[in-house]
Structure 1
Amino acid sequence: MGDLVSMFLHYFSKKHQARKSAKELLESAERVRLYRGDLLSAEAIAVQLDLEKKLSQQLSEKSFDAKGIDQALAELHHTLVKNGGKVYPISSLGDFVEMIVMAVIVAGAVKGLLLMPFKIPTNSMWPTYYGKTAVVRSPEAPAPHLGQLIWHKITDWSSTYLIDAEASGEVKIPLEFVGYNDRAKVYRVRQRSRESSLQEIVIGNTVQSFSLPAEFNFDTVLLRTFFPDFAEMPLQRQDGERWEKVIAKAMAENRVVESPSGTVLLTGKKVKEGQRIFNFDVLTGDMVFANRIIYHFVNPEAGDAIIFRTHRIPGLSDRFGNPSQNYYIKRLAGLPGDELFVEEGKLYRNGKLVTSPEPMALNCQRAISRGYYGYLADVGNQPYAAPLSVPYKVTQGFYTLGDNPSVSLDSRGWGEVPPEDVVGKPLFILHPFSSRWGWAK
């Protein structure tokens, strides 16, 4: 009789634990979609939703299938690890602090009606709004102590990376071939895919990999660590143009060579195993409240920073033709009927130089000391491009530009934004607790 009772209790205990685990995992899946939905591809979201549905169906079955639930839990967990970034799993005190801040944001907003929490992932609107940026220190600089790490995580939302060499030899930067310019080969720093978190560097003949935030551009760390003089050049296309000069100089000096791991740039920096090679912080993007109600009462105006859906912008569909599921933030440069033109870094609207708001005026002035490098007329050869090298008349949509035109993919590359897809404008920068904290510009 005792064995029977024991089996009975074990069955229901296991059933209860499985249902509890499933419920917690489904809640985590919902958080991943909420906080990272604007960064994930449509395919990634679809796969995750299918697995959430599969797990929910397993729970709703009358008969308890422990094996089926365990399998569904494992499949969803594996997908959430890929999709979750710092939202899932919570792996450190810093990540826990970040999740607490996010929870406060969601709880404090009037759920989806008046305000919307929005994390800015890229630097297309820098320096007005920050995406992921880096603070780079000399490899020999002291490492922050624990108290500093916790404080910086709370105030700046930053993570410190201290990376030591796993082998001895010269540090080499992997390059990739991008084409020809007057029969000369053109290279750039090898890019990892947006979804990948692994960055590679070559030391001697050893390829060393380390994990970084998937959306973080490591090029700026490489430039400021190994070529600090080039990093300070006040060039309009910023790091892109600086790297062109670094690579051109290296090619002239025969420091771009083939290796077992592919084409590499020899930095001239030699290290020993265990020696520090990188010392930097990654500051994640601003967390803002978006005012979702304002455009129900007034129309967007030229100069507004707007947040919009991108699912009806063909130029942002993935390579399979699936529409983008992201939200973007850009500056509204032109309304229907406006004529826009860029000349010598200045933006003209209807024949007049744009003088407001301040970020647009500073770009027109090329206020480099404040981080505004001026406007560029195009972003390269894109299928839906609407460049401003010649006057462009806005048709029925909104024409948008980033405040950081050299890195922003905006209407110059994919055309106009349908007005009905605008969901609001930034209202308040809630985090980090820096000089930018407060009402949005």
Structure 2
Amino acid sequence: MNHKKATRLQRKGAKEILRLGEKALSYRKDLLSQDEAEELNSSNLALAKVLKTKPILFEELDTSAKRVDQALQKSGGLYYHKKAWVENIEMLLVAAIVVIGIRSFFVQPFIIPTNSMFPSFFGMQPKLYEEGESVPTLIERGIDKIFLGASHYQVVSESEGPLYLKLHNGAPFKFVKGGFPNGRFFIFPTTLREYTFEIGGKDHKLSVPAEFDLDELMATKFGGTDDLRDLRIIVDQDENFSGRERLKLSERVVGKGEVAIAFDILLGDALFVDRMSYNFITPKAGDPAVFRTGSIDEFNRKLNLLVRGIGEDKYYIKRLVGEPGDYLEMRVPESIITNGTDVRKGVPGILYRNGEPIQGNIAFRENNNRTDDLASNPNAKNVSGYPGYRTDGLLSNRKILKIPDKNSPGNPTGKKAFFAMGDNSTNSLDGRSWGFVPENEIIGRALFVYYPFTKRWGLSD
């Protein structure tokens, strides 16, 4: 007989098998036959006896443990050697509970679809392939998908002729519902923008995410401008052009099999939202805040604000520019009105908070600096990427706006209000249009950009 002593790990494993054996016998003895119950009980007793001996020899421990194991194989049911599908379901349920808990109380993932916070945060960004430039191979697309979240789009001509964009009562696209494989996460229905290109009398349809502005990309490619409407002047249109049926994008004849337009859409910044901090501290001006829009319309109706409604319950990310009790004002420099500054996307102004140019964040400083630059030179190059704040709605020129506190006269809601704007106010539907954000709708502040892997990866500001 081998007199080798059992190790501590071996003793621990045997004790666990004995625990399972005793548990299975206790819970299942009424379901077992007499022989099965006696065998499981006797094997448990034999293993318990070995575990009480001094010293515990490995050979005796191994023999007794295997006997309990064999009895459990026949009589243990779900208490022993669970089937793989049962274990997988349990693992998924535990993981789901953990994820829900983390998402509800600590951090929540959020993907930015639009560029209303550009350049602080990126929404979906285009990468345009110029004429003659090779499009990525399947392998290159796979790499770009992994590291940049990029999706490739292209229109390959099935005929020959000039390139037109078909209009829908003057609009360049229409909204459609997308399913597999174009749905959200491939399978869930989502809303898409559908564009119809015409080449040689044949329609070529292209669908992109609803939040992606393909209009500006086409304006850049075919006219060197940022407004698709300018192509009516830049590109010679047909004699019978009415502006409602189709728009000629290029004089170049596209050959059959050629790529008429190709581009990638890079995924917007994916970030974690800190849901915990606002349980202990008050949101502050300058915070990049994520909030829900579900009750915003009703809140502003109770304040008797004449604003356009949002009409949907979604998550928005904007920067808080005002706290309860603050006074906000937009002041347009006089020279902006007379020096030829491009005001098609709104009139640039300086944002004031409580009588002073707003401070406390780089976005505040750079947007106001951009307006100062335009006031001095309407053709000044935009170095920072911030376009300058624009007057609109509740923040029209020289109109002072007070943000209600919960005890302010005329506030029957009993809730504090905050004012939020996009850093890219030329392309942001924000508080100027739909009003204040009630305190209960603010979820948290942007914490960390975790994807894609670009220079913006890391802590948010």
Aligned to 1:369: 383
Aligned 1:3-82 pairs, distance under 5 A:
none
Q: Is the Cα contact below 8 Å between 1:109 and 1:116 reproduced in 2?
A: no
Aligned to 2:126: 134
Aligned to 2:436: 416
Distance 1:432 1:132 in 2: 11
Aligned to 2:209: 213
AA at the equivalent of 2:436: E
Structure 2 CA distance for partners of 1:398 and 1:193, relative to 1, 3 Å = farther
Structure 2 CA distance for partners of 1:432 and 1:107, relative to 1, 3 Å = farther
Q: Is the Cα contact below 8 Å between 1:137 and 1:225 reproduced in 2?
A: no
Deviations 1:286-325 (A, max 9, x none): 11000001111111111111011110122899xxx99522
Aligned to 1:353: 357
Q: Is the Cα contact below 8 Å between 2:193 and 2:207 reproduced in 1?
A: yes
Report whether the alignment pairs 1:404 with 2:424.
yes
Pairing partner for 1:204 from 176, 181, 200: 200
Pairing partner for 1:246 from 231, 239, 257: 231
AA at the equivalent of 2:268: G
Structure 2 CA distance for partners of 1:259 and 1:412, relative to 1, 3 Å = closer
Pairing partner for 1:338 from 321, 326, 342: 326
Distance 1:278 1:254 in 2: 19
AA at the equivalent of 1:369: V
Aligned 1:309-348 pairs, distance under 5 A:
309-314=292-297, 324-344=312-332, 345=348, 346-348=350-352
Report whether the alignment pairs 1:282 with 2:265.
yes
Distance 1:440 1:364 in 2: 21
Distance 2:197 2:320 in 1: 39
Aligned to 1:146: 138
Aligned to 1:6: none
Pairing partner for 1:226 from 199, 202, 222: 222
Report whether the alignment pairs 1:305 with 2:325.
no
Instruction: State the TM-score, normalizing by the size of structure 2.
Output: 0.61
Specify every segment of 5 or more residues in structure 1 that has no aligned partner in the other structure, as ranges: 1-19, 28-102, 178-186, 231-238, 379-384
Mean CA deviation greater in 259-268 or 408-417: 259-268
Pairing partner for 2:247 from 233, 254, 264: 264
Q: Is the Cα contact below 8 Å between 1:188 and 1:244 reproduced in 2?
A: no
Distance 2:239 2:424 in 1: 30
Deviations 1:104-137 (A, max 9, x none): 9x95982421111111111111111111110111
Deviations 1:260-296 (A, max 9, x none): 9924235323211211111211011111000001111
Deviations 1:29-77 (A, max 9, x none): xxxxxxxxxxxxxxxxxxxxxxxxxxxxxxxxxxxxxxxxxxxxxxxxx
Q: Is the Cα contact below 8 Å between 1:315 and 1:414 reproduced in 2?
A: no
Q: Deviating runs (4+, > 6 A) in structure 1? A: none
Q: Is the Cα contact below 8 Å between 1:257 and 1:265 reproduced in 2?
A: no
CA apart distance, 1:391: 2.0
Q: Is the Cα contact below 8 Å between 1:331 and 1:403 reproduced in 2?
A: yes
Q: Is the Cα contact below 8 Å between 2:287 and 2:445 reproduced in 1?
A: yes
Q: Is the Cα contact below 8 Å between 1:316 and 1:324 reproduced in 2?
A: no
Pairing partner for 1:169 from 155, 161, 164: 161
Distance 1:308 1:256 in 2: 50
Structure 2 CA distance for partners of 1:261 and 1:357, relative to 1, 3 Å = closer
Aligned to 2:38: none
CA apart distance, 1:204: 3.3
AA at the equivalent of 2:326: D
AA at the equivalent of 2:232: I
SS in 2 for 1:143: coil
SS in 2 for 1:125: coil
Distance 1:316 1:210 in 2: 39
Aligned to 1:65: none
Structure 2 CA distance for partners of 1:108 and 1:246, relative to 1, 3 Å = same
Deviations 1:230-280 (A, max 9, x none): 2xxxxxxxx3xx334333445xx5558548992423532321121111121
Aligned to 1:115: 107
AA at the equivalent of 1:116: Q
SS in 2 for 1:420: helix
Distance 1:423 1:257 in 2: 53
Aligned to 2:455: 435
Structure 2 CA distance for partners of 1:432 and 1:356, relative to 1, 3 Å = same
Identical aligned pairs, as a percentage? 31
Aligned to 2:29: none
CA apart distance, 1:218: 1.2
Aligned to 1:388: 396
Instruction: State the TM-score, normalizing by the size of structure 1.
Output: 0.64
Please tell me whether Structure 1 or Structure 2 has the larger radius of gyration of its CA atoms.
Answer: 2
AA at the equivalent of 2:205: S
Root-mean-square deviation (CA, aligned residues, Å) is 3.3
SS in 2 for 1:112: helix
SS in 2 for 1:289: strand
Structure 2 CA distance for partners of 1:156 and 1:322, relative to 1, 3 Å = closer
